[in-house]
Every structure is written in structure tokens, then in C-alpha cells.
């Protein structure tokens, strides 16, 4: 045990509290890199790119008959790639934040019930406008916690461990090298 009473003095930021204006308290712990890499692989499997061979267009005035253009020359294929990339990005944000949330006040189950009670009837309609996560916790995070771009940026900074350090965290980090600080 270190001088400051923590079991592991090498971890500067174990759990960070994020308080929302609506009274929700969220405790965030960044996921380890292997979790992030595994999550990325699963997202790529869940949202695969379309088969490019299906979108090859015949080459006009080709010297050799049967020649085709690369699929990237087909505007329909490029639009599908953009859609897949957007879906991957949206899902990645939600899943990373979900993986980073260690606990909430009120409890996770209460937040899900609150969100479903308020917006459950609208979910089918919203699905028609874009991707809506099937997982109730992911929907709740998106609907109750990520209400603006600034909230998304705040959570992603914590998840990626790029949030600014507070002075006590800096002092704790220095203690790793100099015990007399």
C-alpha cells in the first residue's frame, strides 16, 4: 500500500465522477486497450463493408471486353461505405462509453426504466431515421447522458484518458517518482 492509502500508486485516475445537470452521477473508468481493440473488431464484424465486387461497373470503351471499374468509382458503393463508417463510429462511441461506465447514481436499472418509460413508444419511429441501438443500456446512455456534442467529447476524453488532470492528480503522479512531494 502506498503513502496515500491507495493500493496501486501507479494509477492516477481510477474512477472519475461526471455529474449531469439532471442530477445523474456517472462514474467512469477508462477500459484497458485490449477491451478497446476487441470492441473495435466486434464492431467491424457487426458492420461489415459491402462486397465491392457486387458494385463494379462495366468500363465504357474498354480495349478489352469485360473490364470493370473499381467499386470505388460507383457512387452507390461510396455512399454505402460512408453509411457503414458512420454506423461504426456511432456504435463505437456508445460502446466505449458503456464499457467505461463503472456505476451510476441512480442505478443503471433505474435509468433504463426511466428512459424506456419516457421514450420507449418513440423508439420504433426513431429507428426509421437512423440506427438505434438494440441494447437498452446503450439507448439510455445515448438518450440521457449524451445529450450534446460537449457531453460526448467529455466522455470520450475520459475514455481515451485525455481529460485534463486536476492538481491533486498531478501531485499524485509526481509522488510516483518523488515520495517527499
Is pLDDT of 153 > 70? yes
Domain ranges of the chain: 16-175
Question: Tell me, what DSSP letter sits at residue 161?
Answer: T
- Give residue-wise pLDDT tens across range 91-127: 899 999 999 999 999 999 999 999 888 887 787 677 6
- Label residue 6 by pLDDT band (50, 70, 90): very low
| Entry pTM | 0.71
Query: Rounded CA gap, 32 and 35, in Å?
Result: 6
DSSP state of 48: P
Per-residue pLDDT at 128: 64
Looking only at the bridges linking them, the beta strands covering 25-28 and 101-105 are antiparallel
Q: What's the pLDDT score for residue 116? A: 87
pLDDT in tens, 57-95: 998 887 888 889 999 999 999 999 999 999 899 889 999
Which residue in 168, 152, 176, 161 sits closest to 29, CA to CA?
A: 161
What digits encode the pLDDT tens for the residues 11-23?
445 788 999 998 9
CB 153 within 8 A of CB 110: no
Alpha helices in 31-166 (DSSP H): 33-46, 75-100, 108-119, 123-127, 136-140, 149-159
Between residues 89 and 5, the one the model is more confident about = 89
- Of 13 and 164, more confident: 164
CA angle 26, 40, 50 (to 5 degrees): 130
**Torsion sign, CA atoms 101, 105, 110, 113:** negative
Amino acid at each position: 500500500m502506498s503513502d496515500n492509502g491507495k493500493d496501486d500508486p501507479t494509477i492516477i485516475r481510477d474512477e472519475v465522477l461526471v455529474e449531469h445537470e439532471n442530477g445523474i452521477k456517472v462514474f467512469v473508468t477508462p477500459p484497458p486497450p485490449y477491451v478497446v481493440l476487441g470492441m473495435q473488431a466486434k464492431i467491424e464484424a457487426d458492420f461489415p463493408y459491402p462486397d465491392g465486387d457486387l458494385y463494379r461497373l462495366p468500363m465504357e470503351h474498354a480495349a478489352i471486353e469485360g473490364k470493370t471499374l473499381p467499386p470505388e468509382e460507383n457512387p452507390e458503393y461510396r455512399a454505402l461505405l460512408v453509411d457503414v463508417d458512420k454506423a461504426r463510429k456511432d456504435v463505437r462511441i456508445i460502446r466505449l462509453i458503456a464499457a467505461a461506465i463503472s456505476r451510476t447514481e441512480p442505478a443503471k436499472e433505474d435509468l433504463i426504466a426511466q428512459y424506456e418509460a419516457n421514450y420507449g413508444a418513440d423508439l420504433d419511429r426513431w429507428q426509421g431515421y437512423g440506427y438505434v441501438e438494440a441494447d437498452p443500456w446503450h439507448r439510455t446512455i445515448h438518450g440521457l447522458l449524451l445529450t450534446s456534442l460537449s457531453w460526448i467529447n467529455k466522455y470520450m476524453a475520459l475514455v481515451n484518458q485525455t481529460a485534463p488532470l486536476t492538481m491533486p492528480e498531478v501531485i499524485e503522479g509526481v509522488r510516483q517518482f518523488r515520495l517527499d512531494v
